[in-house]
Amino acid sequence: MLNPTMDHRPKPKDVLRPRPRISIAGAVVTKESAPQNPPAPRRSSVMQAPVLVLNATFEPINVTAVRRALVLMLKGVAQAEETQASEVHSTSKAVAVPSVIRLLSYRHIPQQSRALSRKNILLRDRNMCQFCGNTFSASELTLDHVLPRSRGGRSSWENLVACCYACNNRKGDRTPEEAGLQLARRPRPFTLHTSRQLMRLIGHKDEKWRKYLFY
């Protein structure tokens, strides 16, 4: 008679299970052969690169993207004054990527203004804390009311500045003078001068912009 304690049949937990299979576009691979590294991030498209826009008088008036600049050129509204080494291709021809374009007809540009927003305040102040003078990333900055709102300070170009969190905590609900802080420069509205500063900031790596922005 067989001893039941000597039963050597494999128990369910000892049974080998098949490797999990992953289906990718009709192909089947085992888990071990699946790619372990994530795909490399895609490079930013050349079609989104900045292009300086000049009026017919060669006065810088705006910054646009390559895609929009090519549309203006294809419509006969603008022509390329400076180009990059790269090209974009259609089915019939290749076009050099513009770096600077000029409008063929003069456009009257009204007094320039921008919406009051956190992004535009940081652009105006060049991501620099207006109290300690250090430059930070956008996520490390906040906006500070020079004259606190509790004292009637308004959310305006003249009363908002970029500020790091350390200086913001130090200032608290006080004026800069009361907190022993000094503004790097008095905040001012967005003007043509500010616009030129932003153009220089956006295009500081492109030497072709320099002669049009009067560095």
* Residue 41 pLDDT greater than 50, yes or no: no
9 — pLDDT class (breaks 50, 70, 90): low
For residues 158 and 190, the answer to whether their CB atoms sit within 8 Å is no
Radius of gyration of the chain (CA): 30
Q: Where are the beta strands (DSSP E) in 140-203?
A: 141-145, 160-164
179 CB-contact burial (10 Å; exposed 0-12 / middle 13-18 / buried 19+): middle
160 — pLDDT class (breaks 50, 70, 90): very high
| Sequence ranges of the domains in the chain | 46-103, 111-203
Residue 33 CA to residue 30 CA, distance in Å, equals: 5
**CATH number for the domain running over 111-203:** 1.10.30
pLDDT in tens, 62-109: 888 999 999 999 999 999 999 998 888 877 888 899 999 999 999 987
For residues 214 and 192, the answer to whether their CB atoms sit within 8 Å is no
Contacts of the segment 46-50: beta carbons below 8 A, 24+ positions apart? 46/86, 46/88, 46/97, 47/88, 49/84, 49/97, 50/202, 50/203, 50/206
pTM over 0.75: no
Segment 12-30 shows an average pLDDT of 47
